[in-house]
Chain A
């Protein structure tokens, strides 16, 4: 079964650094894009960016570029989302999700078809 399992809730202070993780299983991690999506409680969804583990190509939303770093470790089949200095406004739930593909080259994209359970990040002094 294809699955994404995320790390647990984090409570941090402003200015602290943080890395959360998303471990994939049940499929070839190297050949599917992994996206990160933010959701402020009670609000909508925001695409932050994504990574292609084979080659580590990354794309960022302009809203998040420079604020977070997306990476992946193929040996661990795990993607990461990292902050160097958290702000209170980073308080949210963060989801990782896989971009479904209809072919080996992912020329046919099929939306975000597998989602992690979400990681709550709370930033408060």
Chain B
């Protein structure tokens, strides 16, 4: 099973600042099948990035995914109030699919 380790566990930032979230995999991700999700309280996760760097439909270009192999990152530029949430990384290249433990971006 591929273990995904996210860092940091939480980030305290202000609107307008940028955030960089990291996710490290215990082994290489097949086909770069790697995604980032945003989750707000009481809601299901929302797909932000798939294939490590492709924005999902309707996701603003403030969200940028990067990386390959075992090291991945999500950068959120010009944070807006609605961006404060929990972010999860996921690999869907090898069974069992796995998620990181999450990074909370808070004000």
Contacts and interface: CB of A to CB of B under 8 A. Distances in A.
B96 interface: yes
B45 A111 contact: no
- Tell me the interface secondary structure of chain A in the complex: strand
Nearest to A99: B92
Contacts of A35: 97
Nearest to B49: A111
A51 B54 CA distance: 25
Interface residues of B, number: 26
A95 B100 CA distance: 17
A118 B44 contact: yes
Given A44-B88, A45-B88, A99-B92, A111 B47 contact: yes
B46 A115 contact: yes
Contacts of B88: 44-45
Given A110-B50, A111-B35, A95 B102 contact: no
Given A100-B50, A117-B44, A44 B96 contact: no
A63 B96 CA distance: 9
Contact of A111 (B44, B90, B95, B101): B90
Interface of A: 35, 37, 44-47, 59, 61-63, 95, 97, 99-100, 109-113, 115-118
Interface string B74-107: 0000000000000010101001111111100000
A63 B102 CA distance: 20
Contact of A44 (B56, B57, B99): B99
Contacts of B35: 111-112
A44 B101 CA distance: 5
A62 B97 CA distance: 11
A47 B90 CA distance: 10
Nearest to A47: B97
Given A61-B95, A61-B97, 11 more contacts: A44-B88, A45-B45, A45-B90, A47-B97, A95-B45, A97-B45, A99-B92, A109-B50, A110-B54, A111-B51, A112-B37
